[in-house]
Amino acid sequence: MSELARRLQSRKPKTAIILGSSLGSIADAVKDPLVIPYGELPGFPVPKISGHAGKLVVGKLGGKEVAVLAGRAHPYESGNAAVMRPVIAALKDAGIETLVLTNAAGSLKPEMQSGAIMLITDHINYSGMNPLIGQHGDENFVPMTDAYDPALRDRMLRAASDEELHLHQGVYCWYSGPSFETPAEIRMFQIVGGTAVGMSTVPETILARRYGLRVAALSVITNLAAGIEGASPSHEETKREGAKAADNMSRILARFCADA
Ligand code: HPA
C-alpha cells in the first residue's frame, strides 16, 4: 500500500483534481480538509516555481469526497517528462478513478479572451517528450482516442451550464516551456488545429490513461498567445489572470463533483 493510501485512512475519494498555475485557492473550497504536504508523500515533487503550492487536500467538494492537489511539477523544471508518474501511480493505488486536470493557457483564438475557461477535447503534443519513453511492456502503447473522456466532458459541460458559465471547447497544444512561444510557433499551432497552448497537462493525461484513470481537463485562459493582437505573455500575467478566474473554475468543479 502506498503512503498516500495509508494516510487517507477511512477517506475514499474516487476523484482527484490537479490545480494549475494560480488556481491553488480552489483547495480552500474543500470542506473538512485533511492536508498532506507533498514533502510527506514519497515521490511527490515539491514544486519549485511561484504560483504553485505543494499540498494534497482531501475533503468534500460539491458534497463529494475528493483529493485536490494544489501544485504540480512541470517537465520543464527538470527535463523529466515523467515527473508526475509517482503522483499518478499513487492516486491509482489509493483508489482514484477520475483525474481532473486544470491549467493556465494562452488562447489561439482572438474570440477566446483572458478569463475564459476551455474544456479540453483533445491535445497536440508538440514537446518532443513523452512520459512513457523508456518504459517497457505492452501496457505503454496507450490508445489516445477519447483520452479526454466523452462522458466526463458532457458532465463538465452540464456543470458549467448549471452555473450559467460559458465553457469553450478545444484542442490544447503542449509546448515544453519554460520560455513562451514565438509568434511564428503560435501561427503554426493555429494552422494545425490548436485552440490553446500551455506547458503542462498532456504528460499527466498520458500517464493517467496508462494507469487506466478517466481524464477530464479544463484550461483557464490567461492571455492571448504570443503575437495575437500584439500579445507578449509573461508568467506574472499568467499568475494574475489565473487567480481572477479561480472562482468560476471552482464553481464548475464543485458542480462536476456533485454530479458524480
Ligand atoms: N503559452 C504557454 N503557456 C501558457 C500561456 C501561453 O501563452 N499562458 C499561460 N500558460
Residues, the chain = 260
**What is the largest distance, in Å, between two alpha-carbon atoms of the chain?**
53
Check if the beta carbon of residue 61 is closer than 8 Å to that of residue 55. no
Burial of 177 per CB tally in 10 Å (0-12, 13-18, 19+): middle
- pLDDT value of position 46: 83
pLDDT band per the 50, 70, 90 thresholds, residue 103: very high
Q: Is 108 in the pocket of ligand 1 (CB under 6 A)?
A: no
| H-only helix segments in 79-197 | 85-93, 150-162, 183-191
Q: Residue 252 corresponds to which cell in the numbers above?
A: 464548475
- pLDDT value of position 82: 97
- Residue whose entry in the numeric block shows the C-alpha cell 470542506: 31
Single pTM value for the model: 0.97
Instruction: Kindly report, residue by residue over 41-91, the tens digit of the pLDDT.
Output: 999 988 676 666 799 999 999 999 999 999 899 999 999 999 999 999 999
Residues above pLDDT 70, as percent of the chain: 98
Q: Which atom of ligand 1 is nearest to the CA of 242?
A: 9
Q: Residue 55 corresponds to which cell in the numbers above?
A: 499540498
Q: Residue 69 corresponds to which cell in the numbers above?
A: 492537489
Mutate to test the pocket of ligand 1, among 107, 182, 222 (most ligand atoms within 8 A of CB): 222
Is 67 designated active site?
no
Beta bridge partners of 249: none
pLDDT band per the 50, 70, 90 thresholds, residue 142: very high
Instruction: Kindly report, residue by residue over 129-138, the tens digit of the pLDDT.
Output: 999 999 999 9
Conformational region of residue 148, where left means phi above 0, alpha means psi within -120 to 50, and beta covers everything else: beta
Catalytic one of 16, 27, 38, 52? 52
